[in-house]
Amino acid sequence: MKLVLEPADHDRYLTCLNECFPGWGTRAMYDWCFARTATGPAPERLVITDDAGQWVAGTAISYRTMRSGGQRWLAGVMTGSWTLPAARGQGIFPRFIEETRARVAHHGGVAVLGFAGDLERASTRKLKSAGSRCVPSWHALGEAAAASEAARRAGDALVAHEATEADAERAYARFRERDGTRAGFVYDDLASFVGQMFRRSLPVLCVDGGSVAPSAVAVVERAKDTDRVLLLDAPDEAARVAFLRALHGRAAGEGRKVFAFGVGEKEKGAFEAAGLPCKGGFLTILEASDSADDRATCDTLATLDWDYQSGDRM
């Protein structure tokens, strides 16, 4: 087995992704994920080939700068890892975890992050057994049929339109004003924020909280049958809950689901108060090197109050 860094054949990589994650996405989605620099080094892809030179597995690293207070750290998010069925169960994914650590350390990063599912998933179990700290995360999903009448009425009061450059500028100004005490990814300029939250491979709406959540605004991605709440900016927790409930009602009115994501125990309470059932997962945090410094930093990172929403992932 041989490791190849940044293989030239992008189409082949995309085909493998769609084989291992049915319906993973288009070339536009691929380019958004793997040809766009967020904050930090450009994303990297790794492939393992067998003795005949055939691809058997791949994984990618999306580099992101994290911040808390005045401190900053570079991390690599492990994303889109796949092993073709015939090569599974041979320890390739654990090898990718180690190779990812080495790449992140090479760039001066301190941690390998994973936005992982629950421990039913082999990838989450392997990230944990490699030594990752596992911070609870929540995938909130509101089915159309589950939206209450009150949620649907509230949804009717929301005002939505296709997101414009002006919306993106306003959202970025608000993002910068927000309480910096919560930890999160860095968006140092408008371009990196817009590239992450607005200029995506799927259409994006800007939704005004209207009378339901005055002065609140949400950025919503229109996936196949689901409205994904990429970013929700509300003046307080009550407004956030009311807005989420209304976004559920709005999606349900179109026969669609709503999805939101958060990290930390208290996020679960907000989602459930909005009537959105939560499935648990983990933000996994693994030191990039065996140094005592990286270990201590990752121990600290695991205790922070993370403000990660759906739009921040990947």
Ligand X SMILES: CC(C)(COP(=O)(O)OP(=O)(O)OC[C@H]1O[C@@H](n2cnc3c(N)ncnc32)[C@H](O)[C@@H]1OP(=O)(O)O)[C@@H](O)C(=O)NCCC(=O)NCCS
Q: Which residues bind ligand X (CB under 6 A)?
A: 20-21, 57, 81-83, 88-94, 122-123, 126
- Residue listed under structure tokens 């927790």: 237
Other C-beta atoms closer than 10 Å to the C-beta of 260 total 28
Q: How far is the CB of 129 from ligand X (least distance, A)?
A: 8
Q: How far is the CB of 21 from ligand X (least distance, A)?
A: 5
Q: Which is nearer to ligand X, 59 or 192 (CB)?
A: 59
Q: Which residue is nearest to ligand X (CB)?
A: 89
Q: Which is nearer to ligand X, 123 or 196 (CB)?
A: 123
Residue 54 corresponds to which amino acid?
Q
Q: Which is nearer to ligand X, 85 or 235 (CB)?
A: 85
Q: How far is the CB of 286 from ligand X (least distance, A)?
A: 14
**Degrees (nearest 5) of the Cα angle 35, 39, 41?**
60
Beta bridge partner(s), residue 231: 219
Packing angle of the helix pair 265-273, 237-253 (nearest 10 deg) = 50
Q: How far is the CB of 254 from ligand X (least distance, A)?
A: 30
Q: Which is nearer to ligand X, 86 or 145 (CB)?
A: 86
Q: How far is the CB of 92 from ligand X (least distance, A)?
A: 3
R_g of the chain, CA atoms, integer Å: 20
- Closest by CA position to 75, among listed 239, 204, 185: 185
Q: Which is nearer to ligand X, 127 or 298 (CB)?
A: 127
Beta bridge partner(s), residue 263: 137
Terminal Cα-to-Cα distance of the chain (whole angstroms): 27
Residue 120 corresponds to which amino acid?
E
Q: Could you please report the per-residue DSSP string of 267-290?
A: HHHHHHHTT--EEEEEEEEEESSS
Q: Which is nearer to ligand X, 57 or 105 (CB)?
A: 57
Q: How far is the CB of 301 from ligand X (least distance, A)?
A: 20
